[in-house]
Amino acid sequence: CEHFDLLKWIRSYNMEHDGSIDICAFDTSLDNGDSEQMLANALLSSKARNPGALFLVETGNMHARNVVYTSNDEECVPMAAILKETNSVFSVFVKYLAGKVLVEGTPRDVTKATSQQESPEPYFDGIVKIPESLPAVEITDLTDVVRKFRVQEEGR
């Protein structure tokens, strides 16, 4: 649900700011092939259309791992590792220290997610620690984000 809210906000923001944020949606849920390669190919196609553009990709942490790893005795080559072969990639893991996250509409303790319990160091270039996962809130512009962040920081 938060993803849809973000997309709605970007759409509204773009209407007021000459389309300054470009969205490249990509999904391989209907594909039976190598989904990591398909995800990488979708981004590489977008990059080819916009060679000077900087891409910020929001994806699940398994896709964002920038190294090949082994899981259940099987070699896994994630999307970010494929992209890193020919592009500059900086992959960040978001670590939540407390709070809830919506999973199919049901609030769950974010710290109990498997991805939050394993060590992200070998797979990512950086780790961003978020003190608490909070429900999404509607924002009207980017300055509102800064204002809300400052209020939260002052309250801690």
Long-range contacts of 32-38 (CB under 8 A, 24+ apart): 36/63, 36/76, 36/77, 36/78, 36/79, 36/82, 37/77, 37/79, 37/82
Average pLDDT over all residues of the chain? 82
Task: Enter the tokens of residue 68.
Answer: 């090949």
pLDDT class for 135, splitting at 50, 70, 90? low
Strands (DSSP E) found in the chain: 69-71, 74-76, 92-96, 100-103, 106-109, 126-130
**Choice between 120 and 137, residue whose per-residue pLDDT is larger:** 120
Contact 98, 133 (CB under 8 A): yes
Contact 100, 107 (CB under 8 A): yes
Q: Hey, how many other C-beta atoms are within 10 angstroms of the C-beta on 71?
A: 8
Mean pLDDT of the 113-121 span:
86
Q: What is the pLDDT of residues 44-81, one digit of tens each?
A: 998 898 888 888 888 888 999 999 999 899 999 999 99
Contact 35, 28 (CB under 8 A): yes
Mean pLDDT of the 106-134 span:
88
H or E segment and range at residue 150: helix 142-155
Give the list of residues 6+ apart from residue 88 with CB closer than 8 angstroms, or none.
none
